[in-house]
Amino acid sequence: MYYNCNMGVDFADISGLKALGVHNIPPMIGRGVMIDMAMHRGKPVLDAGESLGPDDIKAAAKAQGVEIRQGDVIMFHTGWTDAMLESNPKAWFSGEPGIDNAAAVYLARKNVMAVGADTWGVDFVPLKESEKVFYGHVALLKKTVFTSWRP
């Protein structure tokens, strides 16, 4: 059961959402910032469960000569989907690299417009015990969309 009593089988499959997806969001116009986390870690693809914290993001951005500003659209390159979706779809769907809880709060405090990645979500999976489940989505939606949280 999902938002507004929708059953997952009615609107979602492996190829994406048939309803309730980002295709329903109006166009966003902002500065795009791509941070290549795979390159920063010196490998073509990050591993499932590999987490990206605020210090990782800051270091990669600095090394790549980009700055995260208010209103930016931040995109993370991990190599995950290109490496795994066709060759091993079960592994692709079973885990992913992504941001940790602290990184979500860091990005929300930067008041970015949106955060995305070349993964099926932005949070890393499987989680470590200390992490809240899909907290990145919650923190970014609550702190940026609903309250315009400022640093």
Give the model's pLDDT for residue 133.
79
User: From residue 90, how far is each of 33, 72, 123, 149 by CA, in Å?
Assistant: 30, 33, 18, 37
Condensed to tens digits (0 to 9), the pLDDT of residues 64-122 reads 999 999 999 999 999 999 999 999 999 999 999 999 999 999 999 999 999 999 999 89
Taking only the tens place, the pLDDT of each residue in 2-16 is 777 888 888 888 777
What domains lie within the chain, and their CATH numbers?
Answer: 32-146 (3.50.30.50)
Measured torsion, CA atoms of residues 51, 55, 56, 62, in degrees rounded to the nearest 10: 160
pLDDT in tens, 9-56: 888 887 777 777 777 778 888 999 999 999 999 999 999 999 999 999
Can you give the pLDDT at residue 13? 81
pLDDT above 60 (res 146): no
* 144: confidence class by pLDDT, cuts 50, 70, 90: low
| Count of CA atoms in the C-beta half-sphere (13 A) of 104 | 22
> What is the pLDDT, as a whole number, of residue 108?
92
Distance of CA 138 to the CA centre of its chain: 12
Q: Is the pLDDT assigned to residue 149 strictly greater than 60?
A: no
User: What pLDDT, on the 0 to 100 scale, is given for residue 151?
Assistant: 40
Written in H, E and C, the secondary structure of 91-126 is HHHHCECEECHHHHHHHHHCCCCEEEECCCCCECEC
